[in-house]
Amino acid sequence: MKYKRILLKLSGESLMGDKQYGIDNERVKQYAEDIKTVHDKGLEIAIVIGGGNIFRGLSAEKSGMDRAQADYMGMLATVINSMALQDALEKVGIKTRLLTAIKMEQICEPFIRRRAVRHLEKGRVVIFGAGTGNPYFTTDSAAALRAIEIKADVVLKGTRVDGIYTADPEKDPLATKYEEISFREVYDKGLNVMDMTAFTLCEENQLPIIVFDMNKHGNFMKIASGEPIGTLVK
């Protein structure tokens, strides 16, 4: 396998499947099965999930809600998603730990970096919930931060698009895909990979990002094996 320790970033919207909001249990089950195939090969896996399928802080702010309040609500949405994925993973026989940046002792452990690393070393899948624990930071930033803290080899950003394109492929039929691109080129071309805070964190710490289609069964395994799926940013 190409990597030893990976951080998988999933958007909250990806858990919706074909629904308009909420959680599609079949999609979550598919993710759990894909994660299990990689985990069974001995890779250490950490996961960060967004909360946009339940609540979006930025949208709430635009309708008049206080931004910090809205962001905290979004953090709670990520914990709901994390619990759903944790349940699905344990149903396929994987031991997991949910660590959150906001204390919720009845349902999860508080995030402690050394404890997270120890769980990974023991072969548990670690899910990080509640973002960074701070308003004004996205779950992309949480993914970048946690990946750096646990010394992950790569951030795998699972989306519904199979990589980074010159334009939005869902809107522009002429958009072409990049197989590989540098951090500087992403800045210069104004491409939307992650928010700039998260992206800069990865660049400064020389942490590569791979954007790929997580909804296609088997893609996660191909990437973990080193196949050139999606787009590599390095």
The tokens describing 94, both together, are 């994987």
* Predicted TM-score of the model (pTM): 0.94
Determine the Cα–Cα distance for residues 129 and 125; give it in Å rounded to an integer.
13
Please, are residues 27 and 83 in contact by the beta-carbon 8 Å criterion? no
User: Per-residue confidence at 7, pLDDT binned at 50, 70, 90?
Assistant: very high
What pLDDT sits at residue 170? Answer: 78
**Residues β-bridged to residue 157:** 9, 211
Q: Does 160 have pLDDT greater than 90?
A: no
pLDDT-based confidence at residue 174 (cuts at 50, 70, 90) = confident
Q: What is the pLDDT of residues 28-55, one digit of tens each?
A: 999 999 999 999 999 999 999 999 999 9
Q: Which domains does the chain have, with CATH numbers?
A: 5-233 (3.40.1160.10)
- Name the pairing type of β-strands 164-165 and 154-159: unpaired
User: What percentage of residues in the chain have a pLDDT greater than 70?
Assistant: 100
In whole angstroms, what is the distance from residue 218 CA to residue 62 CA? 38
The residue among 44, 3, 9, 45 whose CA lies nearest residue 224 is 3
**Percent of the chain whose pLDDT exceeds 90:** 79
Confidence of residue 62 (pLDDT cuts 50, 70, 90): confident
State the pLDDT at residue 23: 95
pLDDT confidence bin for 2, thresholds 50/70/90? confident
CA distances from residue 98 to 81, 129, 185, 191 in whole angstroms, order as listed: 11, 7, 36, 32
pLDDT tens digit sequence for 201-222: 999 999 999 999 999 999 999 9
pLDDT for position 141: 97
